[in-house]
């Protein structure tokens, strides 16, 4: 057995130079051991839970990146997570009270100090899940975030979910929703050669002399009776429209001066619009999100493709550095760059959604991404432009237009290669006057009416064709 070297005879004498040297060395060694332990003790600053049918997200916001290990335990199903270098505090303990009884996947959560410097979370589950656990770097006012996304083992199918939530008829009906056309305008399937030119002229007039909106009391949509086909009339297929309320969950979008979030405004508008569209014959609507949760940009597009949508309408509310900016806008995808510097800025800002909302890059579908990034989709852009002009014309009747033309930019959410797609910026939430209108029920109802009329106008000139199943 090796012997420990003996200390020099004067090492313990007070004031001895050798004693001071040994004490200094010992202190340095102690600090080198304690300092890393102290520095690694992260603190949880906020906890958030976002339950939804598609998945439940749990977010731990903290002052440093956390290291975790996790595993599943069956019978009953549980997710166990150990977090290294974390001190248990009251904020983390508050996670227990944030689990709601209607959460589809989490029954309850238990939080405790498993061992020194390690906190254990145990999620008691209502069913087996496929968890994704990942870290997000600081961005957009957030600190470091540790994310737990709990997905069902069998993913929610958008088409099955859409059909299950509603009771549409498949009885015979007119070939398209009856458009609100003016005298002299072509009827469905009979668009004249100058139809698009007329839309452009209408949009220009709407941009220069917008009508003043008249407050209306929103009326709940009444279920419509199935329309029967007349003898010999061709039976119509169902028209499917995908509505995409922007942002959600961890991504609040823009915030107005009174603290209202874009994600809440656009969801309210989308729900009103859904009710109005579904009051039309033979029309069904899919919302990319129907509650306050985050949906990555690519998944929004993929949902629309899975339900074989005929149209895709993304709804947003502008924000700009200057509070004087105002007006509504409609955008479509561009193959050749943005149509203005403002459009380029807005597209870049909206395309940050995945960074802010948080996407697990390890599970990102690269094949899907390559499909969605394919810009050789001239036909889609042409149809999108027609839809955009029709909607812009109607919106110009209730609000000032930021510009009197449909703009183009590289919005990621508009890159479905086979669906006419537009992005509607309803108003500037950063403008106090427009923020007040966006919060008003009557104005939200007017917006939904205007977009509905625009879609009907589009179908008047572009009746939906029979389509084969998308791949």
What is the DSSP secondary-structure string of 13-37? STT-HHHHHHHHHHHHHHHHHHHHH
E-only strand ranges, 281-420 = 283-287, 311-318, 329-333, 407-409
The C-alpha atoms of residue 359 and residue 380 are separated, in whole angstroms, by: 27
98 pLDDT exceeds 70? yes
Instruction: Return d(Cα 81, Cα 90) in angstroms, integer.
Output: 18
Quick one: pLDDT at residue 218? Answer: 44
Q: Check: CB of residue 58 under 8 Å from CB of residue 105.
A: no
- Per residue in 316-344, pLDDT (tens digit) is 998 887 888 899 999 998 877 665 566 66
In angstroms, the CA 127 to CA 340 distance is 50
Quick one: pLDDT band at residue 267, thresholds 50, 70, 90? very high
Label residue 222 exposed, middle or buried (CB < 10 Å: 0-12, 13-18, 19+). exposed
Domains in the chain, please, with CATH? 44-152 (2.60.40.3500), 158-461 (3.40.630.40)
Torsion of CA 284, 290, 293, 295, to 10 degrees: 10
Residue with the bigger pLDDT between 455 and 157: it is 455
**Half-sphere exposure of residue 258, counting CA atoms within 13 Å on the CB side?**
12
Helices (H) and strands (E) in the chain, counts: 12, 14
pLDDT per residue as tens digits for the range 122-175: 999 999 999 999 999 999 999 999 999 999 999 888 887 777 766 554 443 333
- What's the sign of the alpha-carbon dihedral 120, 121, 126, 127? negative
- Taking only the tens place, the pLDDT of each residue in 210-250 is 444 444 444 444 444 344 444 444 546 789 999 999 999 99
Per-residue pLDDT band for 274 (boundaries 50, 70, 90) equals very high
Coil, helix or strand at residue 308 = coil
Whole-angstrom Cα distance, residue 151 to residue 131? 6
Between CA 416 and CA 375 the distance in angstroms is 9
Residue 289 confidence (pLDDT): 96
**Interval 107-128 mean pLDDT:** 95
Q: CA-to-CA distance for 169 and 171, rounded, in angstroms?
A: 5
Rounded to an integer, the average pLDDT of 174-202 is 43
Q: Is the confidence at residue 262, as pLDDT, over 70?
A: yes
Q: How confident is the model at residue 385 (pLDDT cuts 50, 70, 90)?
A: very high
Pull the structure tokens for residue 177: 């929703």
| Average pLDDT over the chain, rounded to an integer | 79
Q: Is 390's pLDDT higher than 50?
A: yes
Contact (CB, 8 A) for 426 and 253: no
Say what the pLDDT of residue 318 is: 84
Which of 217, 175, 228 is closest to 463 using CA atoms?
Answer: 175
**Does residue 285 surpass a pLDDT of 60?**
yes
Q: Please identify which residue in the block is written with the tokens 């809440």.
A: 264
Q: Which of 290 and 41 is assigned the larger pLDDT?
A: 290
pTM for this entry? 0.77
Q: What is the pLDDT of residues 420-435, one digit of tens each?
A: 999 999 999 999 999 9
Give the containing element (helix H, strand E) for 357. Answer: helix 353-357
């Amino acid at each position: 057995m090796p012997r420990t070297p003996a200390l020099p005879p004067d090492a313990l004498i007070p004031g001895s130079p050798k004693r001071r040297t040994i004490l200094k060395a010992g202190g340095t060694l102690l600090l080198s051991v304690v300092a890393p332990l102290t520095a690694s003790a992260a603190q949880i600053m906020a906890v958030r839970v976002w339950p939804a049918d598609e998945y439940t997200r749990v977010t731990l916001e903290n002052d440093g990146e956390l290291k975790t290990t996790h595993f599943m335990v069956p019978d009953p199903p549980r997710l166990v997570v150990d977090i290294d270098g974390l001190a248990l505090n009251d904020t983390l303990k508050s996670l227990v009270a944030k689990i709601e009884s209607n959460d589809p996947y989490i029954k309850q959560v238990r939080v405790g100090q498993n061992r020194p410097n390690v906190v254990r979370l145990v999620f008691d589950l209502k069913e087996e899940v496929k968890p994704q656990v990942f870290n997000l770097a600081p961005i957009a006012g957030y600190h470091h975030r540790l994310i737990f996304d709990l997905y069902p083992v069998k993913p929610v199918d958008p088409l099955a979910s859409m059909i299950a939530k509603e009771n549409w008829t498949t009885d015979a009906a007119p070939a398209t929703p009856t458009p609100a056309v003016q005298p002299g305008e072509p009827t469905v399937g009979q668009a004249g050669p100058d139809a698009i030119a007329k839309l452009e002229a209408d949009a220009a007039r709407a941009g220069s002399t917008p009508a003043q909106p008249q407050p209306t009391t929103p009326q709940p949509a009444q279920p419509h009776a199935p329309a029967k086909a007349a003898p010999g009339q061709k039976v119509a297929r169902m028209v499917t429209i995908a509505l995409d309320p922007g942002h959600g969950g961890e991504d609040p979008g823009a915030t107005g001066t009174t603290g209202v979030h874009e994600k809440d405004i656009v969801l309210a508008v989308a729900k009103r619009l859904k009710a109005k569209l579904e009051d039309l014959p033979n029309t069904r609507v899919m919302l990319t999100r129907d509650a306050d949760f985050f949906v990555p940009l690519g998944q929004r597009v993929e949902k629309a493709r899975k339900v074989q949508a005929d149209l895709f309408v993304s709804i947003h509310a502008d924000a700009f550095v200057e509070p004087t900016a105002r007006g509504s806008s409609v955008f479509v995808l561009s193959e050749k760059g943005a149509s203005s510097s403002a459009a380029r800025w807005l597209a870049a800002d909206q395309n940050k959604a995945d960074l802010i909302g948080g996407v697990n890059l390890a599970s990102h579908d690269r094949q899907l991404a390559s499909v969605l990034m394919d810009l050789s989709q001239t036909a889609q852009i042409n149809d999108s432009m027609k839809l955009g002009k029709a909607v812009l014309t109607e919106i110009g009747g209730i609000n000032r237009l930021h510009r009197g033309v449909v703009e183009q930019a590289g919005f990621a959410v508009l890159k479905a290669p086979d669906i006419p797609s537009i992005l509607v910026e309803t108003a500037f939430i950063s403008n106090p006057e427009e923020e007040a209108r966006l919060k008003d029920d009557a104005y939200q109802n007017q917006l939904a009416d205007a977009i509905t009329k625009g879609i009907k106008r589009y179908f008047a000139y572009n009746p939906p064709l029979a389509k084969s199943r998308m791949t």
